[in-house]
């Protein structure tokens, strides 16, 4: 398995609070991605990074920001969480469409 970990694995928070999810990889891969997965919608790309300090928006980036200060870490921040951001969040690494996914973080916003 590709060395990808996500933390926390589960989180319950309240509307309006900031939340940061962490993705850590040991593969030294240049590209990293954040997705959310919701029933009926499949996986949707939030943001991705193509190098340290280089990031770009995906399909559903509103309400999310990311940072990558080291090759191995990619952080996803919800500045002020809303109930619509309740979802399972996956981090991935890889080039093109051949991506390797982490185990996911289940986030519940009450």
Partner 1 sequence: EDQVTQSPEALRLQEGESSSLNCSYTVSGLRGLFWYRQDPGKGPEFLFTLYSAGEEKEKERLKATLTKKESFLHITAPKPEDSATYLCAVQAERNNDMRFGAGTRLTVKP
Q: By the criterion CB under 8 A, which residues form the site for partner 1?
A: 31, 33, 40-45, 48, 50, 56, 58-59, 90, 92, 94, 96-104
| The two structure tokens encoding residue 86 | 């309740």
How far is CA 88 from each of CA 11, 32, 50, 53, rounded to the nearest angstrom? Answer: 10, 17, 23, 25
Count each helix (H run) and each strand (E run) in the chain, helices first.
Answer: 0, 11
Query: From the CB of 23, what's the least distance to partner 1, in Å?
Result: 11
Nearer to partner 1, 17 or 50 (CB): 50
CB of residue 107 vs partner 1: minimum separation in angstroms?
15
What is the closest distance, in whole angstroms, from the C-beta atom of residue 85 to partner 1 in the complex?
A: 18
Please report which residue ranges of the chain form alpha helices under DSSP H: none
Nearer to partner 1, 50 or 79 (CB): 50
CB of 40 to partner 1, least distance (A): 6
Residue closer to partner 1 by CB (options 28, 96) is 96
Nearer to partner 1, 14 or 60 (CB): 60
Sign of CA dihedral 29, 103, 41, 98: positive
CB-CB contact of 4 with 25 (8 Å):
yes
């Amino acid at each position: 398995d590709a060395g990808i970990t996500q933390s926390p694995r589960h989180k319950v928070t309240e509307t309006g609070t900031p939340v940061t999810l962490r993705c850590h990889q040991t593969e030294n891969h240049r590209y990293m991605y954040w997705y959310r997965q919701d029933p009926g919608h499949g996986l949707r790309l939030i943001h991705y990074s193509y190098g340290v300090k280089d990031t770009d928006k995906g399909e559903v980036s509103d309400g999310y920001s990311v940072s990558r200060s080291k090759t191995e870490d990619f952080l996803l921040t919800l500045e002020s969480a809303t109930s619509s951001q309740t979802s399972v969040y996956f981090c991935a690494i890889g080039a093109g469409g051949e991506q390797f996914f982490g185990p996911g973080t289940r986030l519940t916003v009450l």
